[in-house]
């Protein structure tokens, strides 16, 4: 009888966990449809290129627009404790995950539309956005970023609006890093 009660408790707990996961996946899907951008994790290899080619300088500010679960900024914030890292994410599930599990003293996340954020203080900018958003964002970046700011774009360019200063590519999909300097 006790084993049956234990099985019922375990089954109830697993059902509850599955329900929570289903709700989270549904939220991710809804925001993907609403925003037009899915959540895709950046590859470690691209972070290593950033570190080797344009290591963030102490005292500077590094933004991630559409920061997802915060992995990119968390990875870099651990390596560069004297750099301020700021992420903007609209998806509430990803934003909450980042706030809860990606904690560092030099790292902040905001749930805000990055088109409504002034980027004048950004020294570095990381983007992993679809081409349509990249092209819309270009005018804003051109008007707001200070001279010398570095833009890292994962996999997608600004179309024919500007040519990257450097390109690092592999044979694998979604492993190309475009580096621009304003």
In this predicted structure, what is the pLDDT of residue 37? 64
pLDDT, residue 87, reads 98
Residues 70 and 5 in one domain: no
23 with 52, same domain: the answer is: no
Q: Reduced to 3 states, what is the DSSP secondary structure of residue 103? A: coil
Higher pLDDT among residues 20 and 115, named by residue: 115
Let me know whether 59 and 25 are in one domain.
Answer: no
Kindly report, residue by residue over 41-91, the tens digit of the pLDDT: 788 888 999 999 999 999 999 999 999 999 999 999 999 999 999 999 998
Dig out the tokens for 153 from the structure: 């774009």
**49 CB-near residues (< 8 Å, 6+ apart):** 168, 177
Read off φ and ψ for residue 139, nearest 5 degrees.
Answer: -60, -45
Same-domain check for residues 11 and 57: no
Measured CA to CA, the distance from residue 152 to residue 164 in angstroms comes to: 9
* Residue 59: per-residue pLDDT: 97
Q: When comparing pLDDT for 44 and 120, which is higher?
A: 120
Backbone dihedral angles phi then psi of residue 58, each to the nearest 5 degrees: -50, 140
11 lies in the same domain as 76: no
pLDDT band with cut points at 50, 70 and 90 for residue 35: low
Burial class (CB in 10 A: 0-12, 13-18, 19+), 73: buried
The answer on 170 and 93 residing in a single domain is yes
Residues 87 and 165 occupy one common structural domain: yes
Identify the band that residue 113 occupies on the pLDDT scale cut at 50, 70 and 90.
very high
Tell me the pLDDT band of 31, cut-offs 50, 70 and 90.
Answer: low
Rounded to the nearest angstrom, the gap between the alpha carbon of residue 122 and the centroid of all alpha carbons in its chain is 15
103 neighbors 78 (Cβ within 8 angstroms)? no
Structural domain boundaries, residue 20: 1-35
| Cα 180 from Cα 172, distance rounded (Å) | 21
pLDDT of residue 173: 77
Higher pLDDT, 41 or 175: 175
**Residue whose pair of structure tokens reads 């099985």 in the numeric block:** 7
């Amino acid at each position: 009888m006790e084993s049956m009660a234990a099985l019922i408790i375990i089954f109830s707990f697993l059902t509850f966990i599955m329900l929570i996961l289903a709700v989270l996946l549904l939220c991710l899907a809804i925001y993907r449809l609403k925003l037009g951008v899915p959540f895709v994790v950046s590859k470690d290899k691209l972070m290593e290129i950033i570190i080797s080619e344009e290591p963030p300088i102490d005292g500077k500010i590094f933004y991630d627009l559409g920061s997802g679960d915060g992995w990119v900024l968390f990875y870099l914030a651990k390596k560069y404790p004297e750099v301020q890292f700021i992420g903007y994410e609209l998806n509430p599930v990803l934003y909450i995950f980042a706030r809860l599990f990606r904690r560092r003293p030099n790292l902040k996340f905001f749930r805000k539309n990055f088109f409504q954020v002034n980027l004048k203080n950004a020294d570095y900018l990381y983007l992993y956005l679809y081409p349509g958003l990249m092209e819309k964002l270009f005018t804003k970046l051109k008007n707001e970023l200070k001279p010398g700011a570095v833009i890292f774009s994962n996999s997608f360019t600004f179309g024919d609006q500007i040519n990257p200063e450097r390109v690092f590519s592999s044979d694998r999909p979604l492993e190309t890093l475009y580096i621009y300097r304003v």
